[in-house]
Amino acid sequence: MILSMLIFGTIGVLRRYIPYSSGVIALIRGLAGTVFLLPFCIAKKNAIQKDALKKNFLLLCLSGAFIGVNWILLFEAYKYTSVSVATICYYMAPVFVVLASPIVLHEKLTAKNMLCTVVSVCGMILVSGVIETGISGIKGVCFGIGAALMYAGVIILNKFISGLTASVRTMFQLAAASVAILPYVLITEKNFSFGSDVSVFVMLAVMGILYTGAVYTLYFACVEKLPAQTVALFSYIDPAAAVLCSVFILNEGLTLLSALGVVLVIGAAIVSELDFGRKQTTLSE
């Protein structure tokens, strides 16, 4: 679990060195992840249940589309702001889930969750830098929040999907994400060319195979064996790793207020999870 979270946390660094649009990268990521997971699903006898697929088809398609849009928005956020700011904005997703759960999931909204939500919002404001620089860098923050909304949608939709193993569910969602992204890429990338830089092809392969297919398989294998609270707490290794990579690898500055915002967002999210005893099905970036 620690390894999978560390891998997720470094995806922003890899994105910075791939000179293609967010749509192209997201499409390749979805296709490569689907192809990687397919043999694992086939190898498991009776893993793919046709009845369950028919029952959950619309939910799989919709959640997959959300995943695709989520990737595009997150990669765009990496372009317009620092990796740390984009990732922390992205981790506002639990806040949106908390706010939507009383209406969509009919779950009780406790005073502690409301307080954590307020603290998270305050932390996000600090992370965005809007207090120090005004709205000049707000575009990346908006993309990050948009990605968080899509991520929250995936979490909520997964609550209604049943009868499928985690690997099969993920494979079909990645396939649906690829289908959803394809029209966007065809419209926006009419003159696209891959070029001949071998290093870029290597990074794309790593993005699709390691950062999508392999790490999702590793992640869900751990989710099945670890307590829910452990999974929830370990998931915050991801933004912590992203912040460290942003500061020490990409040399992106982190002001005192932004650092305080990081602590508020991650701290509030951890506190809100401490009493959660049920297993949560989530998809990382």
| Domain contains 285 | no
| Domain contains 36 | yes
Give me the torsion for CA of 246, 248, 253, 256, rounded to 10°. 100
| Domain contains 151 | yes
Query: What are the tokens at 33?
Result: 């992840």
User: What is the C-alpha separation between 104 and 49, in angstroms, rounded?
Assistant: 27
| Domain contains 282 | no
| Domain contains 60 | yes
- Note the pTM of the prediction, 2 decimals: 0.78
Q: How many domains are contained in the chain?
A: 1
| Domain contains 283 | no
User: What is the C-alpha separation between 253 and 192, in angstroms, rounded?
Assistant: 33
Backbone angles phi, psi at 113, to 5 degrees: -65, -40
Domain that holds residue 138: 2-273
Query: 144 near 22, Cβ under 8 Å?
Result: no
Q: Over its length of 285 residues, how does the chain's per-residue pLDDT go in tens digits?
A: 889 888 988 998 898 889 888 889 999 989 998 988 888 777 776 566 778 888 999 999 999 999 999 999 998 888 888 887 888 788 777 778 777 878 887 777 778 778 877 887 788 777 766 565 555 567 888 899 999 999 888 888 888 888 887 778 888 989 999 999 999 898 888 777 777 788 888 999 899 889 988 887 787 777 767 765 566 667 778 877 888 888 888 887 777 887 888 788 778 777 776 664 454 444 445
pLDDT at position 132, please?
59
Residue with tokens 């392999």, as numbered in its chain: 214
Three-state SS sequence of the chain: CHHHHHHHHCHHHHHHCCCCCHHHHHHHHHHHHHHHHHHHHHHCCCCCCHHHHHHHHHHHHHHHHHHHHHHHHHHHHHHHCCHHHHHHHHCCHHHHHHHHHHHHCCCCCCHHHHHHHHHHHHHHHHHHCHHHHCCCCHHHHHHHHHHHHHHHHHHHHHCCCCCCCHHHHHHHHHHHHHHHHHHHHHHHCCCCCCCCCHHHHHHHHHHHHHHHHHHHHHHHHHHCCCCHHHHHHHCCHHHHHHHHHHHHCCCCCCCHHHHHHHHHHHHHHHHHHCCCCCCCCCCCC
pLDDT at position 65, please?
93
| Domain contains 105 | yes
pLDDT at position 62, please?
94
CB neighbourhood size of 256 (10 A): 9
Give the tens place of pLDDT for each residue, 251-262: 877 778 878 887
- Where does residue 169 fall: left (phi above 0), alpha (psi -120 to 50 degrees), or beta otherwise? alpha
| Domain contains 279 | no
